[in-house]
C-alpha cells in the first residue's frame, strides 16, 4: 500500500513539473514586449545642424509623434559641417539633414547614401545698408559677396548673380561684416537672415525666390536596407509633426524648440513667419542643375556624373 501511495505521489509530481515547463514555454512565445505592454522600439540616429529644417524633428521627438509609430529618434546636433560629416563617415549615423551639393560630394568620396525627401529650410541674399542695393538686378561685378565656397551657399550666390566673392566661412562673421559695410552682399541661412534684416540689412531674395529647393534628407544605403520599417515610422512621425505645426500657434512650441534645438532666441520670429509645408520629393531638374554647376567649377575636381534614379529612394512617398 505504502509503495502504491509513493508511486501516486511521484506521478503527480511529474505531472506538476511538466505543467510548469509547458506554462513557462507558452509565456516565452509572446512577441517582443518591453515595459507595460509596449512593443520594442525601433531606433534611428539622425545628424543635424542648427537650422530650421530640424524643427519638425524636435517637435516629433518631444511631442511623441515618433514614439506613436514605435520609433525612438536619437538626434545628434553638430555645430559644423566638418563634425557632422565625420560622424556620418564613421557609420554612427543612419541619416542626415543636408543639401544636394554636400550629397554629391559625399557620393564622389565613396559614401553610400540616397535622397529620400526634401526638408524645409530657409536662405536669404542680404545686402548691406551702405551698399544702396535694393534688388538682384542692381548687383554689379564690383560688389563684394561674403560666402563659404564650394557648397550650397555659393550655388545660391551664383543664382543671385553675386559679384566678387570673398571667403567668409563663419556665418556670424558674414553678418557682422555686412552690417559694418565691409562687404556688399552675403548669403546666410535662417535665423541669420531675420537677424540681419532686423539690424538694417536689405533682403534681396530668398531661396524660394531663386526657385532653389536643394535641402534634403539623406539615409545611408545600409539603413535603407536594414531599417526600412524604422524609416517608414520616421516619415509617419515627421508628417504628424508638420500637421501639428500647421494647426498650432508657434508660441506654444517656440520655447521648446529653442531649448532642445540649440537655437538663438531670434528663431522665434522666424518660426512665427514660417509655414511648414507637406513633405516633398527631390526634383531631378534641381539635382541635374546642381551637378552641372559642380562640374563646371574648377575647384571641384571630382566626377559628379550621377544618375538621379540611382541616388534616390522614393519608397516613403508611395
From residue 32, give the alpha-carbon distance in Å to each of 70, 101, 107. Answer: 12, 41, 37
C-alpha cell at 104: 554629391
Q: What is the predicted pLDDT for the residue at 283?
A: 97
User: What phi, psi does 188 have (nearest 5°)?
Assistant: -140, 160
Residue 1 has pLDDT above 90, yes or no: no
DSSP annotation string for 161-202: T--EEEE---HHHHHHHHHTTS-SEEEEETTHHHHHHHTT-E
Nearest to 105 by CA among 279, 313, 297, 315: 297
Q: Are 112 and 132 in contact (CB under 8 A)?
A: no
Q: pLDDT tens digits, residue range 244-277?
A: 999 999 999 999 999 998 888 888 898 888 889 9
Instruction: Report the DSSP beta bridge partners of residue 187.
Output: 125
Residue 10 has pLDDT above 50, yes or no: no
Give the class (CATH, top level) of 39-120+213-317.
alpha beta
Parallel/antiparallel/unpaired status of strands 33-34 and 144-147: unpaired
Q: How far apart are CA 153 and CA 149, in angstroms?
A: 7
What lies within 8 Å, CB to CB, of 90 at 6+ separation is none
C-alpha cell at 70: 514605435
Which single residue is written with the C-alpha cell 524645409? 120
Q: pLDDT tens digits, residue range 117-146?
A: 999 999 999 999 999 999 999 999 999 999
Across the chain, mean pLDDT equals 87
Q: pLDDT tens digits, residue range 190-247?
A: 989 999 999 999 999 999 999 999 999 999 999 999 999 999 999 999 999 999 999 9
Domain residue extents for the chain: 39-120+213-317, 123-206
Question: Residue 39 — very low, low, confident or very high, per pLDDT cuts 50/70/90?
Answer: low
Q: Are 179 and 200 in contact (CB under 8 A)?
A: yes
User: What phi, psi does 263 have (nearest 5°)?
Assistant: -100, 155
pTM: 0.84
CATH 3.40.190.10 fits 123-206, yes or no: yes
Q: How far apart are CA 192 and CA 123, in angstroms?
A: 9
Q: What is the predicted pLDDT for the residue at 100?
A: 97
In CATH terms, are 39-120+213-317 and 123-206 the same topology?
yes
Q: What is the predicted pLDDT for the residue at 256?
A: 93
Amino acid at each position: 500500500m505504502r509503495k502504491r501511495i509513493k508511486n501516486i505521489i511521484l506521478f503527480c509530481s511529474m505531472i506538476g513539473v511538466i505543467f510548469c515547463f509547458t506554462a513557462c514555454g507558452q509565456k516565452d512565445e509572446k512577441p517582443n514586449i518591453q515595459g507595460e505592454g509596449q512593443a520594442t522600439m525601433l531606433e534611428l540616429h539622425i545628424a543635424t545642424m542648427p537650422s530650421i529644417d530640424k524643427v519638425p524633428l524636435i517637435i516629433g521627438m518631444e511631442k511623441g509623434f515618433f514614439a506613436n509609430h514605435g520609433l525612438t529618434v536619437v538626434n545628434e546636433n553638430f555645430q559644423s559641417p566638418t563634425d557632422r560629416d565625420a560622424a556620418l563617415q564613421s557609420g554612427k549615423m543612419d541619416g542626415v539633414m543636408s543639401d544636394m551639393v554636400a550629397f554629391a560630394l559625399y557620393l564622389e568620396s565613396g559614401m553610400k547614401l540616397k535622397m529620400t525627401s526634401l526638408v524645409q529650410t530657409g536662405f536669404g541674399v542680404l545686402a548691406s545698408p551702405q551698399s544702396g542695393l535694393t534688388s538682384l538686378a542692381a548687383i554689379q561685378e564690383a560688389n563684394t559677396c561674403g560666402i563659404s565656397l564650394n557648397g550650397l551657399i555659393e550655388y545660391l550666390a551664383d543664382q543671385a548673380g553675386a559679384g566678387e566673392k570673398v571667403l567668409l566661412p563663419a556665418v556670424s562673421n558674414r553678418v557682422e561684416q555686412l552690417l559694418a559695410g565691409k562687404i556688399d552682399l552675403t548669403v546666410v541661412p535662417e535665423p541669420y537672415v531675420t537677424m540681419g534684416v532686423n539690424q538694417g540689412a536689405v533682403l534681396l531674395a530668398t531661396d524660394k525666390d531663386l526657385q532653389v529647393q536643394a535641402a534634403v534628407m539623406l539615409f545611408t544605403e545600409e539603413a535603407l536596407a536594414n531599417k526600412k520599417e524604422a524609416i517608414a515610422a520616421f516619415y509617419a512621425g515627421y508628417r504628424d509633426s508638420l500637421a501639428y505645426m500647421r494647426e498650432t500657434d508657434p508660441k506654444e512650441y517656440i520655447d521648446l524648440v529653442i531649448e532642445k534645438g540649440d537655437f538663438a532666441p531670434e528663431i522665434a520670429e522666424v518660426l512665427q513667419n514660417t509655414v511648414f509645408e507637406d513633405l516633398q520629393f527631390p526634383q531631378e531638374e534641381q539635382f541635374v542643375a546642381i551637378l552641372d554647376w559642380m562640374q563646371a567649377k574648377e575647384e571641384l575636381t571630382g566626377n559628379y556624373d550621377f544618375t538621379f534614379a540611382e541616388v534616390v529612394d522614393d519608397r516613403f512617398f508611395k
